[in-house]
């Protein structure tokens, strides 16, 4: 099975989203290499007790993989909601 290529709705935001991921995960207390923010998934996996390794992980079940992605994606969504609420509050006060 080939790995799917994720595409963002807004073209050209790939680098900004990776930087956002790095910032959010640093805020969550993880050590993040700004040049390789996707590598934070290994630290999250280790914390959750999921045996994720670089390369092939075909023996990893969907539930375990979802725990890793959920922790990262959940933190990013919470931060996006917080930023949107902050913008709305600032707009109302103007």
Q: Is the pLDDT of residue 2 over 60?
A: no
Per domain, the residue ranges of the chain are: 14-93
- pLDDT tens per residue across span 38-93: 899 999 999 999 999 999 999 999 999 999 999 999 999 999 999 999 999 988 88
Question: Shortest CA distance to 44 belongs to which of 58, 59, 62, 32?
Answer: 32
pLDDT range class, residue 1, cuts 50, 70, 90:
very low
Decide: 55 and 3 in contact? Cβ < 8 Å.
Answer: no
pLDDT of residue 26: 95
Among the residues of the chain, which ranges form H helices? 14-27, 40-48, 62-93
Give pTM, 2 decimals: 0.81
């Amino acid at each position: 099975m080939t790995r799917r290529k994720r595409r963002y709705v807004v073209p050209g935001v790939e680098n900004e989203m990776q930087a956002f991921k790095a910032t959010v995960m640093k805020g969550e207390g993880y050590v993040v290499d700004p040049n390789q923010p996707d590598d934070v998934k290994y630290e999250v996996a280790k914390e959750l007790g999921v045996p994720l390794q670089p390369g092939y992980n075909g023996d990893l079940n969907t539930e375990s993989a979802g725990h890793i992605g959920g922790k990262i994606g959940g933190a990013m969504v919470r931060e996006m909601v917080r930023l949107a609420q902050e913008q709305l509050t600032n707009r109302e006060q103007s």
